[in-house]
Structure 1
Amino acid sequence: MPTSRRRLLIGAAGAAFLAGCGGTESGASADSAPGKLRIGYQRFGGLSLAKARGDAPDAEWSLFESGPALTEALKAGAIDIGQTGEAPPIFAAAGKINFKIIGTSEPVPQGEAVLVKSAKGYRTFADLKGKTVALNKGSNVNWLLVKLLEQANLTIDDINVKYLKPAEGRPAFDSDQVDAWIIWDPYFALAEQPGVQILADATGLANNREYLLAAPEAVTGKADLIRSFLAKYRATTDWGIANPAERAKILSPELKIDEATTTRALARSAKPLTPITPEIGTELQTIADGFTKLGLIPVEVKIAERIDEQFNEALL
């Protein structure tokens, strides 16, 4: 087996395990009070706005750098609910992590992209044949990579994949240690500096939805808390979309990102929440089957069976 292929199989299949709980920045606890909702969120995701606006003042909030780290916290029983992109739930399911998918968002294809340096002269993803491409293990951009390779008639052996967390990817990209970086907002927006080119985004390739995940114990034991929070979360998301300037002012200090960058990222990446449906389950299953076919996960995953529609009313 070629070295690059072996590296992808080992790295991607183990993504949910290797991300580790070290991705948390705010100490999720596995023995929180039963009447308290424990929420895992990522910087910039819609939950950041809900936190900043005080939608759940009594909740225990835990910040994660990426989706794989958040799903590890679900595995450890450290959070009740959390939000990730489309790939982390699939890798988590392959890793035997138990959870339900209780909500989603409208598609966000412009919110993830392939970045390159303009001076290098790349015009299409096919130009990256033989080059080094960085991305985070097991995250939403894993599926975008698969679709980009397919579109360019390339295989994984045609590029050198380098797995880097966002905090590692940016300096590697800036210093030309990698030729391209596949990344999502707000890291995407932060990297949009002079001389940086968007080679491609996910438009026409991947929907890049956000997904709300919940621990089975929370679905049964904290259903009322979840339902109440989701209703507030939906209202806050709608408010933010209708009031972009005010939203940026609130989120900029929360994210520790300047207001102009926050505004630019939110303009393309903030989308309404929507109920989870069997059709969206089918969409996720297609991705899971694609990963299985390529050997990116070691087992078949029935991700559509994780869909739980009992909270849909709160997201209408």
Structure 2
Amino acid sequence: MLNTFFRRHVAGALCGTVLAALASQAAFAGKISIGHTIWVGYGPLYLAKELGYFKENGVDVEFQVVDDSALAMAAQAAGKLSGTATTIDEILKYRSDKFCFKAVGVFDESHGGDGMVTTSAINSLDDLKGKTVAMNEGSTSQFWFSYLLKKKAIPLKEIEVLNMSADAAAAAFIAGQVPAAVTWEPNLTLVRTKNVGKVLTSSADTPGVIVDVLELSCSVIEKQPKDVKGFLDALYKAVDYMKANPEKANAIMAKGVGGYLKDPKDFADAAAGVKFYDKPMTIDYLGTKEKPGPIADVIKLGNEIWSDLGKMKSTVTYDQVVDSGHLK
């Protein structure tokens, strides 16, 4: 079944009704409220809540599913949320002097969950020149696709991008309307099972590039340091539990995340396409101000790619979007 929910980021206008629904859920001292799309990588949030780990650490939490990460970012900017769970490339486009936030933790990295499907006639990125590729413009899909082209020194102008959601892109490809599409699971598996094409490349070939992070408003980080540390301790305790008890954890996380992942089997299948980060992995990936981790390379890439695509007006630095101090 095609994923009928938006994942991570969907280009479009802000929805006033969603923001209105969040208006009564403003972030305040003692509580941490997080907005997120429906994505397997955010399962540990619900696992930590169900197992009582947040309560153990004295943190009152609230999670709000918002179909479009741009909506969650807007709610956060208005003070209605403490933070947002989304990809590192995504948050770069919103950081400014007026909207201060930083990544304090890492959830997961896509490890085969995202990919590009093509017809049998296309065997390399070079074969895409002059052809149409369906994808969601301005989203992580376009960021990842642009990264692939950049590695091969292929100008984006040599590709005709057809803007549509990742699910619509997969549907268009399966229907034979486009020769290539950038999408994600379960669409990649659907293409394989229907034998209508192939997965030319996936995020398994680009480790550490599509990474979901937890970012919090600077005011929350400054005024609620105990809550932030407690939140992260609970989150990574849940990840450790998940790795030791995958079947039990999947059942809890599927119920919490819901949507197209509400069936534990579907959740487990989706989880196979990501790599969940525990605390040591997160510390290594974020690094420190003195010695930035691999996230610094993605920030650099994001600056370059989004600037080239006209999605960013100013450069964002590592110090502006990363704070790993609460992990120690």
Q: TM-score, normalised by structure 2?
A: 0.75
Q: CA offset at residue 107 of structure 1? A: 4.6
| Residue among 253, 272, 287 paired with 2:301 | 287
Long gaps (5+) in structure 1 = 1-14
Q: Are 2:27 and 2:82, in contact at CA under 8 Å, matched by a contact in 1?
A: no
1:157-236 counterparts in 2 under 5 A?
A: 157-185=157-185, 193-195=193-195, 196-202=197-203, 203-204=205-206, 207-236=209-238
1:277 lines up with 2:287 in the alignment: yes
Q: CA offset at residue 214 of structure 1? A: 0.5
Deviation track 1:229-249 (CA, whole Å, cap 9, x = no partner) reads 221111112222333333333
Counterpart residue number, 2:260: 256
Letter in 2 for 1:80: S
| Residue among 264, 267, 288 paired with 2:272 | 267
Counterpart residue number, 1:84: 86
Distance 1:23 1:206, change over 3 A: farther
Instruction: State the identity %.
Output: 19
1:8-157 counterparts in 2 under 5 A?
A: 18=12, 20-21=14-15, 27-29=21-23, 31-32=25-26, 34=28, 35-52=30-47, 53-54=49-50, 58-93=60-95, 97-105=99-107, 107-116=109-118, 118=119, 120-157=120-157
Letter in 2 for 1:122: I
Aligned with 2:211: secondary structure?
coil
Letter in 2 for 1:256: Y
Of 230-239 and 149-158, deviating more is: 149-158
Q: CA offset at residue 88 of structure 1? A: 0.5
Aligned with 2:84: secondary structure?
strand
The alignment's C-alpha RMSD in Å is 3.4
Q: Are 1:25 and 1:62, in contact at CA under 8 Å, matched by a contact in 2?
A: no
- Give me the whole-angstrom Cα distance separating, in 1, the residues matched to 2:27 and 2:313: 36
Of 152-161 and 86-95, deviating more is: 86-95
Q: TM-score, normalised by structure 1?
A: 0.78
Aligned with 1:198: secondary structure?
strand
Aligned with 1:37: secondary structure?
strand
Aligned with 2:39: secondary structure?
coil
Aligned with 1:92: secondary structure?
coil
Aligned with 1:77: secondary structure?
coil
Q: Are 1:144 and 1:206, in contact at CA under 8 Å, matched by a contact in 2?
A: no
Aligned with 1:59: secondary structure?
strand
Distance 1:36 1:151, change over 3 A: closer
Aligned with 1:256: secondary structure?
helix
Distance 1:256 1:298, change over 3 A: closer
Q: CA offset at residue 141 of structure 1? A: 2.6
Long gaps (5+) in structure 2 = 1-8
Q: CA offset at residue 286 of structure 1? A: 1.6
Q: Are 2:10 and 2:165, in contact at CA under 8 Å, matched by a contact in 1?
A: no
Letter in 1 for 2:305: F
Deviation track 1:160-197 (CA, whole Å, cap 9, x = no partner) reads 21232345444434434433222345665566542252
Q: Are 2:136 and 2:163, in contact at CA under 8 Å, matched by a contact in 1?
A: yes
Distance 1:291 1:95, change over 3 A: farther
Counterpart residue number, 2:6: none
Q: Are 2:188 and 2:199, in contact at CA under 8 Å, matched by a contact in 1?
A: no
Aligned with 2:122: secondary structure?
coil
How many residue pairs are counted as aligned between the two chains?
A: 297
Letter in 1 for 2:160: N
Q: CA offset at residue 154 of structure 1? A: 2.4
- Give me the whole-angstrom Cα distance separating, in 1, the residues matched to 2:174 and 2:238: 35
Letter in 2 for 1:127: D
Q: Are 2:170 and 2:183, in contact at CA under 8 Å, matched by a contact in 1?
A: no
